[in-house]
Amino acid sequence: MAGTTTSPAPAPAAGVPRAPLRVRVLRRPEVGALVAALAVFLFFSLATDAFLTPRGVASWLESAALFGIMAVAVSMLMIGGEFDLSTGVMVGSTGLLTGVLATHAGVNLWIAVLASLAAALAVGFLNGLMVTRTGLPSFIVTLGTFFILQGLNLALTKAVTGQVAVQGMTQVAGFWDARWLFGSSMAVGPAVLDVPILWWVLFTALCTWVLLRTRAGNWIFAVGGDAKSARQTGVPVVRTKIGLFMTTAFAGWLVGMLSLFGTTTVQASTGVGVEFVYIICAVVGGCLLTGGVGSALGGALGALIYGMAYQGIVFAGWDNNWLKAFLGAMLLAAVVVNTYVRRRAETAGAASTEHTDPADGGGPAEGGERG
């Protein structure tokens, strides 16, 4: 972390041996995604002219950024052993709520922005509460939330505005200030990068830090890896899971704001159908569907692969339906690799206990060891 003044690495660490670098690198869940991202990058760099130009880079980074923020949050949730289908539609809900409050209810824009944040966190809290209290699979609970929000988005937007989109945002007082925060761009060398890319990088860094260097991160891995063991050792399982659902809801709000202020409008159908893209990004990034394994960086890399493929296919002039086929293939490859890696991690121990030879018989050899 930048800005830390405490000196790291106290003396006792010196004596603890570490595995060789090669082993430690291969142990990281995002290694596969990193290799795949490099391959996709090289492929489109060589296959198309536009991919490596400053404008080209800015375009695929921008595509990756909006998906990446959500993919990182979904990765954290998946590591914690849960699933959220209401993530995509949350982007629409928060954008619509902010827009409708500001344009039709005359609410101060910043208050509208905060109100939609509060609403998103409340939905995340309820998702988490229902999942932890009922013990139902989060797939079902959030499928319900997904449909409720999807219905509300359309019905309420139509009822209030008479249309299926929010219009007139640019006339709202304070819009340009908020756009500076959520929707501006800046020149970085020859490229013009949109501010969502910055949000994406910051959010990924923050989540990586939380996962690897805080108690909460330790608990996230534990509740996803083995909730019963986590409970036995005193980990607050319910609080951790609710926090994770609120994190994905927060990410949905952030992407909602970035979309609203980036494009000045939100459709009532925004975000429907993309929840699976987030999940694919997380799995491609090395998250295990059953929880306990994964990384925030992996989710970000999954989104990067998605962004590069999305724009690369456009640059190559191909039919963009190839994107879906490509995503599906990536998903399957990732699932197979992840499952193989986990099986190796979980059963290596069991395999070594099988070496014991029953022919040794009788009692343990330690019989005469007592002093």
C-alpha distance from residue 125 to each of 78, 122, 142, 153, 309 (Å): 16, 5, 12, 19, 34
∠ CA(272), CA(158), CA(251), 5° rounding? 35
Closer to another protein by Cβ: residue 18 or 162: 18
User: What's the closest the beta carbon of residue 56 comes to another protein, in angstroms?
Assistant: 37
User: What's the closest the beta carbon of residue 293 comes to another protein, in angstroms?
Assistant: 6
Closest CA to 241 of 335, 148, 142: 142
Closer to another protein by Cβ: residue 118 or 206: 206
Q: What are phi and psi of 152, to 5 degrees?
A: -60, -40
Contacts to another protein by CB under 8 A:
1, 4, 6, 8-10, 12-13, 15-19, 24, 27, 209, 213-215, 217-218, 221-222, 225-226, 228-230, 232-235, 288, 292-293, 342, 345-350, 352-367, 369-370
Closer to another protein by Cβ: residue 217 or 256: 217
Closer to another protein by Cβ: residue 221 or 253: 221
Structure tokens at 18: 């570490």
Closer to another protein by Cβ: residue 287 or 308: 287
Closer to another protein by Cβ: residue 104 or 239: 239
Structure tokens at 338: 């992840």
User: What's the closest the beta carbon of residue 87 comes to another protein, in angstroms?
Assistant: 24
Environment class of 174 (CB within 10 Å of its CB; exposed 0-12, middle 13-18, buried 19+): middle
Separation between Cα atoms, residue 107 and residue 115, nearest integer Å:
10
User: What's the closest the beta carbon of residue 338 comes to another protein, in angstroms?
Assistant: 11
User: Which stretches does DSSP call E strand in 87-218?
Assistant: 165-166, 185-188, 191-194
Separation between Cα atoms, residue 367 and residue 96, nearest integer Å:
74
∠ CA(213), CA(215), CA(220), 5° rounding? 95
User: What's the closest the beta carbon of residue 272 comes to another protein, in angstroms?
Assistant: 34
User: What's the closest the beta carbon of residue 208 comes to another protein, in angstroms?
Assistant: 12
